[in-house]
Structure formats: structure tokens, C-alpha cells
Amino acid sequence: MPPLAPPLAPLIEIAPPAFDVHLSLAYAMADNFTGKPVYRRADCYLHENAAEKLSHAIELAAKLDLKIRIFDAFRPSEAQWILWNHTPDPDFLAPPERGSPHSRGVAVDLTLVDSAGKDLDMGTGFDAFTPRSHHGVKDIGPTAIYNRCLLLGLMTSAGWDFYAKEWWHYQLFDSRQYPLISDKELDIPML
């Protein structure tokens, strides 16, 4: 018999000053691959277990005089369908019927920024649906390779798993043990 999913834990808001991060929530703006906002609210949430690991990553980055910029974190199940219906690409989007770690509150899309708040060169932008977004590519230049390795090292040291086809995506190990969360379950809907 498969283990029961843990009860729906409260989502933790990820925002300064409690979390020393830059927020650039792509799906709350029109500047994303759909060309329009998906979320009505530009609020960032993670499951409490993911929030704890994010805090660790923030501390590690700070030791290098770097900060984290978050592009996306918790994504209601309905938002996953919106993204999928726009671009049904299983290399870059989890099929909604399977469920995304984002829709469980245990995934985060991010990059590193320097002390001036400038994004480090990662070789491609966020949500660049191309093989150049994969970890381990060699045609992005030495600075971008270094920066991706730095981000990978910080995140894995903080206890995160990575997705090989997206340098920006990190999730908790065994993410499917967490239940999917619908926009209807939120106290204040995001969509």
C-alpha cells in the first residue's frame, strides 16, 4: 500500500524581510512565454519544508555576497494547465495530469544576483525552452558554465534536487509525496 500523502501544510510566504530574496514572479507579469499574466497576485509561496531549504540556500549565497532571484515557486494546479495549454512541451513543463512539483509547493525557479542586484550570466534566460537551458551544456561560455555550477552547488548543498533540462528549476526530493494544491484551496486565490 503506498504511503499516504502528508496533510496539506500551510504554505509559507516567501518575501523580504523574512527571506532575503529578489522577487521577479514571471507568471504575475506579461513578460513570460504566454505573453500575459497567469497570476492575479504577485505573491510567492512554498511548502514549509521547501521554505526551510530555501533559507539554507539564501544563507549559503550570502556567504558569497550573492542573493537569489525567484521567478516562480508555488503554482496552483490550474495555472499548470494554463501553461500546458499554451505550450504542451513535456521537456519543460510537467504534464498537469501528472502534477508539477510547483503545484505541490515544493519547487522553485530561480537565479543568482550580485550585490548590485544584477542577474549572473546563466547562458540563457529563464524559461528558454531550448537545449541550451540544460545542465552540462558546453556552448554557453565559461562564465555562464561557472555560474550554473555555482547555483547547482548552492542549491544541492541546501538539500534541493535539480531538473537536468532547466538550469533554473530546483525541487525537493520525492516531490510526489506532497499533495497537489488547487487555487480553490488557498485562503486568497492567486488566479
Query: Can 166 be counted among the known catalytic residues?
Result: yes
The DSSP secondary-structure symbol of 183 reads G
Q: Give the whole-angstrom CA distance, residue 85 versus residue 95.
A: 10
Q: Give the whole-angstrom CA distance, residue 37 versus residue 55.
A: 27
CB 167 within 8 A of CB 153: no
Q: Give the whole-angstrom CA distance, residue 123 versus residue 139.
A: 9
The DSSP secondary-structure symbol of 9 reads P
Q: Give the whole-angstrom CA distance, residue 53 versus residue 77.
A: 22
Q: Give the whole-angstrom CA distance, residue 139 versus residue 126.
A: 17
Gyration radius (Cα) of the chain, Å: 16
Strands 67-72, 45-47: pairing is: unpaired
CB 86 within 8 A of CB 27: no
Catalytic residue among 48, 97, 166, 185: 166
The residues that are catalytic are 166
